[in-house]
Structure 1
């Protein structure tokens, strides 16, 4: 994935994550309104908000790999010279890419295993809650590989 495409995809993922957070807020608001004003809490709101939360967290996590907004501890990194620091960052991105592949493989297995289970209050397959995991894993791997490519090109700039 090239940098411009990665920027666009990550931006879209962040926007989808924000939309999911807004939808979750509205759903929880409806649940509170139903419980305290109507004296009848809707049965679907809890499961819908949990499903949305799984989706927006994984989408934002994938975007965070490209956008570099994940928390990291730099104390070890700062002890190295620039060339070794670059190698360390490449190694970290390689590990993150492997973790993305783990999410891809085991996410597919999880979604497949629960496909026959139905979320009662929503009437949909439980797989819909987990299908985002392999998708995010694929994006995490692609974004990590793109970051490795960026780091490798830094060497030529020195």
Structure 2
């Protein structure tokens, strides 16, 4: 098997920036998950111990959940963690696998652009509304999808450029006969 081609220097610089962006998204997702857990704990404590449920806790946990879900999904796109039909990579010739990868990445780019675009329209349309329990503009419900769609688009574009340059980001195809069964 030949070594993957090295991407151009400019691409490697962009890739390093996207590394930082991906790491930041992952950290923000983790912090959001921990914060949501603490808020739900406070909500349960308030309801059953203090007999007074804080009205802000549920909408805030939903906001945090929206953020960490889309950040985690975007990082999953970049790291190729999502479910896929990897079996095809083992059974089909490498060239066919690359075509399938390219089609998948183009579809993910289209999805990310559409998600950002239509979510931005919803955010603009709900800016004057107010989320009652939090007092925030209604567009805050759609901002995670705007940013998440943009991240999905960026990370999918990066993987598509890698694929075109021959530096395959997807799991390497292995010889099925050499797979060790434990």
**TM-score category (smaller protein):** over 0.9
Deviating 4+ runs (over 4 angstroms): none
Q: CA deviation at 1:113?
A: 1.7
Q: Is the 8 A contact 2:112 2:153 kept in 1?
A: yes
1:94 aligned to which of 106, 117, 128:
106
TM-score (norm 2): 0.81
Aligned residue number for residue 28 of structure 2:
16
Displacement of 1:13: 0.5
1:7 equivalent to 2:19? Answer yes
Contact 1:20 1:52 in 2 (8 A): yes
**Counterpart contact for 1:6–1:66, Cα < 8 Å:** no
Aligned length: 156
Instruction: Specify every segment of 5 or more residues in structure 2 that has no aligned partner in the other structure, as ranges.
Output: 1-10, 169-182
Aligned to 1:31: 43
Root mean square deviation, CA, Å:
1.6
Q: What 5-or-longer segments of structure 1 have no aligned partner?
A: none
Q: How big is each residue's C-alpha offset from its partner over 1:30-79, in whole Å with a ceiling of 9 and x where there is no partner?
A: 00000011011111100000011111111111111111111222233433
Tell which structure's C-alpha radius of gyration is larger: 2
Who is 1:46 aligned against?
Answer: 58
Deviations 1:128-155 (A, max 9, x none): 1211211111111111111011111117
Q: Which has the higher helix share?
A: 1
Whether the 8 Å contact between 1:7 and 1:66 is mirrored in structure 2 is no
SS in 1 for 2:85: coil
Contact 2:88 2:97 in 1 (8 A): no
CA contact (8 A) 1:55 1:129 kept: no
- When residues 29 and 121 of structure 1 are mapped into structure 2, their CA distance, relative to the original with a 3 A threshold, is same
Relative to the length of structure 1, the TM-score reads 0.92
Is 1:147 matched with 2:159? yes
